[in-house]
Structure 1
Amino acid sequence: MLTRKIGRMKYEGSVVMFGAASLGNVTQEEANQSIRHALANGVNHFDVAADYGDAEVRLGPIISEIRNDIFLATKTGQRRKDKAKAEIYRSLERMQVDSVDLLQLHAVGTIEELDKCTAKGGVLEAAIEAKEEGVIGEIGITGHGHQAPATHLEALRRYPFATVLLPLNYYMYSIPEYRADFDALMEEAKKQEVAVRVIKAIAKKPWDEDQQRDYATWYEPFDQQKVIDACVHFVLSFPGLSGFASAGDIHLFPKIVDAVERFGTMNDEEAERVLQSISGYTTIFGAKTSID
């Protein structure tokens, strides 16, 4: 399994993060199988959130036994200090661990949300306090939507976050405004040694209203191996990118791991040919013209 340094934390993490949103609505047995598959294939970077259904609980039985062998990250979506602090300790209890390597301020995709987080009595104060108490290692920030790169760039001006986590895929990077904002964020992250980690690498488009939903993801994902390979090639080819989160469905995880293990066998031109030829490929964050 390919590994990369997670920013200034010096930890060598697998480039594919086990996106534990996939465990939110599965049985413990299904969760155990998926986690064991990850570990057997060298995945040592696990990323979860307090609001991913039962995901933290599903991680607990196995993760608590191998805590020192993995990089463990969770998130809080709370905005007030008191509620965030309670949620941080609840997450530790649910996962049966004493600490996490990374606590992320969740779903901060606009300046308005960032203002709430960094205000007096906001969640950032809770995270800093928890770090001082030794229950979290570092503090990061995550965001969805087209404003996430610009928002995270501003966040890095306000506080030295260790990581950012935001969307990136071939279609989104083809949008000029998004590309410019993402490149500016990458440049600043390099200066500050901030780990850039991404989500939605294999997202194709929003589900159609009458479409049969074969996966637990809130968007339609790519599920053909060749396309997944091209998506993974695209994101992992970014210089300075620490890694990407797997999609939120346990049935897609083995295909994503397979794509990572083949990374380097596909060149840029081939990946672009595959991704450019897809009908209906678009952003999942609002109306844009799709690639047809």
Structure 2
Amino acid sequence: MSANAQNSEMLYRELGSTGEKVSVIGLGGWHIGLDKVDEELSLKIIQTAIDRGITFMDNSWDYNGGISEQRMGKALKGGYRDKAFLMTKIDGRSKKEAAKQIDESLKRLQVDYIDLAQHHEIIRYEDPYRIFDPEGAQVAFLEAQEAGKIRYIGFTGHKDPQIHLKMLEVAEENGFKFDSVQMPLNVMDAHYRSFAQQVVPKLVERNIGILAMKTMANGILLRSNTVTPIECLHYALNLPTSVVITGIDSLEILEQAFEAVRTFKPMDQQQVDEILKKTAKAAVTGQYEPFKTSSIFDSTAQNPQWLGDEPQRLQALMPN
């Protein structure tokens, strides 16, 4: 697979124990489907990113009502698919709903297979149990993997590091090791309900690919007036991340991502502490990480029908 081809403008890292080398910058899928980004521009952003060495393409079944996946599919035509490591996320918790969403994503993306499919928005303590139920989404993922529809399996979440740890625990109880885990890793996270402190060490220990998201939280972190976009990206790159996913809605923001890579040098603890000192006061209540402290970012909470039915064996326990 030529997604491993390296480009001098980009850095590449191993994705956990998969043997895949991926670009340290991942192109966020949500932004490319926004109304303010017309289709022509979104395709140009994706193809320019790939031409310059970004291989990791982020997406989700639910982004912008499917528009993000549709645009990604169009952009990957003409030889671009072979240069990309394609990821998407699936909301379904039941086997039936997850299988349907996987097939819909494949159709929208116009591809035969997805490199990495991830269980999306693990934000409730019951999510791991539903996914690993005998009727759960993990069965659909494993069957899709066996059928060649997906290559690797991961999960994402933005709410609480303890829920991530529960997902890892339930997976281990079921004899399964994830290939990747995606979570908020940013300059505020270190001070409040920290994924970097609680989850990252467990993933390093297990050699699971670490995917950073919400490095600027769609610009919300920058409203604290404490750090620059480049500092945000450098901080996330300095963690043991495989990929730092960042939203890109213009060619200027794409250039910013490449500038961050060009200027990145591994930081020692003193340098990291200096950055974190800037954000300590602003971060202490979690106000600049509303994905942790509110339901604003919880798309599955707003659309519970995406999750599918509860397992029948649990429904059978309910009194008539």
TM-score range, shorter chain: 0.7 to 0.9
Q: Residues 156 and 15 of structure 1: is their aligned pair in 2 closer, same or farther, counting only changes over 3 Å?
A: farther
Within 1, Cα distance between the matches of 2:232 and 2:273?
9
Q: Secondary structure at the match of 2:143?
A: helix
Could you tell me which residue of structure 2 aligns to residue 290 of structure 1?
none
Could you tell me which residue of structure 2 aligns to residue 120 of structure 1?
134
Q: Kindly report the root-mean-square deviation, in angstroms, between the aligned alpha carbons of the 2 structures.
A: 2.6
Within 1, Cα distance between the matches of 2:221 and 2:198?
27
| 1:184 to partner: Cα distance | 4.6
Give the counterpart of 2:125 among 111, 116, 120: 111
- Is 1:222 the equivalent of 2:239? no
Could you tell me which residue of structure 2 aligns to residue 23 of structure 1?
32
Could you tell me which residue of structure 1 aligns to residue 77 of structure 2?
64
Note if contact 2:129-2:170 (Cα within 8 Å) is conserved in structure 1.
no
- Is 1:7 the equivalent of 2:16? yes
| 1:188 to partner: Cα distance | 3.0
Superposed CA offset, 1:93-139 (max 9, x none)? 11111001111000012321112211121111110110010110011
Q: Residues 269 and 37 of structure 1: is their aligned pair in 2 closer, same or farther, counting only changes over 3 Å?
A: farther
Give the counterpart of 1:87 among 89, 95, 101: 101
Give the counterpart of 2:188 among 167, 171, 174: 171
Could you tell me which residue of structure 2 aligns to residue 210 of structure 1?
none
Superposed CA offset, 1:1-23 (max 9, x none)? 01101111111100111111111
Within 2, Cα distance between the matches of 1:102 and 1:152?
18
Note if contact 1:229-1:260 (Cα within 8 Å) is conserved in structure 2.
no
Q: Residues 265 and 154 of structure 1: is their aligned pair in 2 closer, same or farther, counting only changes over 3 Å?
A: closer
Letter of the aligned partner of 2:48 in structure 1?
A: H
Within 2, Cα distance between the matches of 1:87 and 1:105?
11
Could you tell me which residue of structure 2 aligns to residue 286 of structure 1?
293
Note if contact 2:190-2:276 (Cα within 8 Å) is conserved in structure 1.
no
Superposed CA offset, 1:46-94 (max 9, x none)? 0101101110000112213322221111111111111211111111111
Note if contact 2:121-2:157 (Cα within 8 Å) is conserved in structure 1.
yes
Could you tell me which residue of structure 2 aligns to residue 47 of structure 1?
58
Within 1, Cα distance between the matches of 2:154 and 2:68?
20
1:119-138 correspondence to structure 2 within 5 Å: 119-138=133-152
Letter of the aligned partner of 2:189 in structure 1?
A: M
Letter of the aligned partner of 1:245 in structure 2?
A: I
Within 1, Cα distance between the matches of 2:68 and 2:275?
33
Moved over 4 A (4+): 265-272, 278-281
| 1:163 to partner: Cα distance | 0.6
Superposed CA offset, 1:182-237 (max 9, x none)? 4453333234321011111123xxxxxxxxxxxxx4x625389x711111121111
| 1:156 to partner: Cα distance | 4.3
Identity of aligned residues (%): 26
| 1:248 to partner: Cα distance | 6.0
Within 2, Cα distance between the matches of 1:202 and 1:268?
21
Q: Residues 115 and 156 of structure 1: is their aligned pair in 2 closer, same or farther, counting only changes over 3 Å?
A: closer
| 1:27 to partner: Cα distance | 2.1
Structure 2 unpaired stretches of 5+? 1-9, 295-320
The structure where strand makes up a greater share of residues is 1
- Is 1:263 the equivalent of 2:264? yes
- Output the TM-score relative to the length of structure 2: 0.76
Higher relative contact order (CA 8 A, sep 6+): 2
Q: Residues 248 and 76 of structure 1: is their aligned pair in 2 closer, same or farther, counting only changes over 3 Å?
A: farther
Could you tell me which residue of structure 2 aligns to residue 209 of structure 1?
none
- Output the TM-score relative to the length of structure 1: 0.82
Could you tell me which residue of structure 2 aligns to residue 208 of structure 1?
none
Aligned length: 269
Letter of the aligned partner of 1:283 in structure 2?
A: E
Within 2, Cα distance between the matches of 1:262 and 1:55?
30
Q: Residues 277 and 185 of structure 1: is their aligned pair in 2 closer, same or farther, counting only changes over 3 Å?
A: closer
Could you tell me which residue of structure 1 aligns to residue 318 of structure 2?
none
Within 1, Cα distance between the matches of 2:248 and 2:121?
16
